[in-house]
Amino acid sequence: MDPKKNVILRFDDVTFEYVEKHPLMKDANFSLRENTKLSLMGQNGAGKSTLFKLITGEYKPLKGQIHVNEGIQIGHAAQVMDRRFYPMTVNEYFASAFTEAPRNLPKLIDEALDAVNYKLPHDQIVSTLSGGQQARLLLAYALIQKPDILLLDEPTNNLDADGIGHLMTFLMMYEKTVIVISHDADFLSTFTDGVLYLDFWTKEIDQYVGDYFDVVEQIKKRIAIEERKNAQLKKSIQDRKDKVNFFANKGGKMRKLAKKLKDEVADAEDSIVRVKADDKTITPFTIDAVKFTESHANLSSIGIWVNGKVIHKDVDIDLRRGGRLLIKGPNGIGKTTLLERLANRTEEGAIIPPEINVGYYRQDFSGLDFSQTAYNSLKDVIEVDDPELIFGIAARFLLKGSVLQNPIGMLSEGQKALLTFARFVLQKPSLLILDEPTNHVNFRHLPVIAEALSKFEGAMIVVSHDEEFVKKIQFTEVVDLGRLKDR
């Protein structure tokens, strides 16, 4: 990052906590220069989305100061569409970005939508848009504010390949400051020139220069150096402790020597560096399926969203144990609503026997009760309350005891995703219906999740734009709704 560029935002010893005496961020320091592009890294639950809300002023620090230069405009593209916007028209949604809607709002809306390669009627209701369409709307909402600092929270979620390609090009050409949260390592490496790293364990923020992959290597080298130093210190400390025990029993001058060595041990222990705990990966897991020998899902037709209504196209798909169906198609064709109808058993061309236990992953987690604690959400999917089992399964998904006591609404989107998979382990469904299961999940966890799904012995219906993830699962059936519509 060019030191000649002006600093436009600075965190000075910022501490923030949701729960008293459990800081999410402690004495955090970093600075942001104009016209730079940074990735924001950290484990699920480290506080990445919270950092954005501190920058926008939605949250206030418990201690420390956040300095933003006068006149700096900040635009924030949230990770998911806030449900309070669902009843609004597109015009009303964009108007909410201003204290007072400008007279040329329609023109500004079209310009913002054009920047994200999208066209949309201004009177369309937000709730009728697909996840991918909402993702573009979120980005356009931030851009319409003409921001000097653009904050993007998982902007590739729900975008198809064309959408991701356009976003990459746009960000590479964007001449203002950008901070991006994303689990997509390849996406991050294309345009960022620095990284802010939120350490889940130390609660500190480290700043690095270089693209994403450069920084990952820097962190690995730093960890190796710190671990070597600590190993040498611990060996020296143990040697001194052994001498303390030996001399302490000798009396006289030897006892004074023992005290001196004991003080040196205390100083050495204070010198041990707290090694950065790099992102941990969830433990390998298995989703057991309740055995069912008959058809798990029989589809004779599929509903597709065309010009504001559902039309049905004939198919012939019979998913049995071990069957895997991948549903593809462009944003806005109705993939999410199709999965919802299948999960609710309201899709007119589908038969899912009542005996089939369905595990449903919603991309917006709306199937979870956000007021319920994470622990009670896990307890609800088993017949008998078994704390040892629940805490054990949760720990495999990096959901600590303190996290389990929080309402689901307080969890990060990544933690909600891991909670959903933990529920599947306890639920033991016969049929999994998964709508963009890689969204919000730290990329380090994705190979573990893909492995678990590839070994799942029940039937599975999946929508995913993550091509690398899809390649790791062997699908027996693939339906492209775009091609099916034109058939």
Give the model confidence (pLDDT) of 458-467 as tens digits: 999 999 988 8
Q: Sorting pLDDT into bands at 50, 70 and 90, what band is 118?
A: confident
Nearest to 211 by CA among 230, 235, 186: 186
pLDDT at 280: 73
Q: Which residues contact 65 (CB under 8 A, 6 or more apart)?
A: 11, 12, 13, 14
Distance CA 312, CA 484 (A): 10
Nearest to 280 by CA among 424, 425, 400: 400
pTM beyond 0.75: no
Q: Which DSSP state fits 194?
A: E
Mean pLDDT of 204-227: 77
Mean pLDDT of 306-326: 91
Q: Is the pLDDT at 270 greater than 60, yes or no?
A: no
pLDDT at 135: 85
pLDDT at 251: 62
Mean pLDDT of 431-437: 96
pLDDT at 155: 85
pLDDT at 23: 83
Q: Is the pLDDT at 277 greater than 60, yes or no?
A: no
Q: Sorting pLDDT into bands at 50, 70 and 90, what band is 259?
A: low
- 18's tokens: 């949701």
Distance CA 407, CA 410 (A): 6
Q: Which amino acid is at 452?
A: A
Percent of the chain with pLDDT over 90: 48
For the ranges 89-103, 231-245, 423-437, the lowest mean pLDDT is seen at 231-245
Q: Is the pLDDT at 246 greater than 70, yes or no?
A: no
pLDDT at 110: 93
pLDDT at 269: 59
Q: Rounded mean pLDDT of the chain? A: 86
Q: Which residues contact 188 (CB under 8 A, 6 or more apart)?
A: 39, 180, 182, 211, 212
pLDDT at 396: 94
Whether the Cβ atoms of residue 182 and residue 191 lie closer than 8 Å to each other: no
| Structure confidence by residue, pLDDT tens digits, 127-182 | 888 887 888 899 999 999 889 999 998 888 777 777 788 888 888 888 899 999 88
Q: Is the pLDDT at 102 greater than 80, yes or no?
A: yes
Q: In this structure, how many other beta carbons lie within 10 angstroms of the beta carbon of residue 409?
A: 12
Q: Is the pLDDT at 112 greater than 80, yes or no?
A: yes
Pick the most confident of 37-51, 149-163, 330-344.
330-344
At which residue do the structure tokens 């309740």 appear?
290
For the ranges 36-40, 180-184, 321-325, the lowest mean pLDDT is seen at 180-184
Q: Is the pLDDT at 271 greater than 60, yes or no?
A: no
Distance CA 278, CA 294 (A): 45
Percent of the chain with pLDDT over 70: 91
Q: Which residues contact 45 (CB under 8 A, 6 or more apart)?
A: 200, 398, 403, 411, 412, 414, 415
Distance CA 442, CA 185 (A): 10
pLDDT at 268: 59
Nearest to 455 by CA among 480, 424, 414, 423: 424
Q: Is the pLDDT at 63 greater than 90, yes or no?
A: yes
Q: Domain extents for the chain?
A: 7-211, 217-271, 297-485
Nearest to 456 by CA among 319, 295, 282, 290: 290
Report the largest interatomic distance among the alpha carbons of the chain, rounded to a whole angstrom. 97
Distance CA 112, CA 95 (A): 13
* Identical fold, 7-211 and 297-485: yes
pLDDT at 231: 75
Q: Would you state the CATH architecture of domain 7-211?
A: 3-Layer(aba) Sandwich (3.40)
Cβ-count burial 135-156 (b if 16+ within 10 Å, e if not)? bbbbbbbbbbbebbbbbbbbbb
Mean pLDDT of 405-413: 90
Q: Which DSSP state fits 83?
A: G
Give the residue with greater pLDDT, 346 vs 171. Answer: 346
Q: Is the pLDDT at 286 greater than 60, yes or no?
A: yes
Mean pLDDT of 284-294: 89
Mean pLDDT of 229-233: 73
Give the residue with greater pLDDT, 477 vs 442. Answer: 477
pLDDT at 448: 95
pLDDT at 316: 95
Bridge partners of 460, per DSSP, are 324, 432
pLDDT at 300: 95
Task: Please identify, in words, the CATH class of the domain defined by 297-485.
Answer: alpha beta
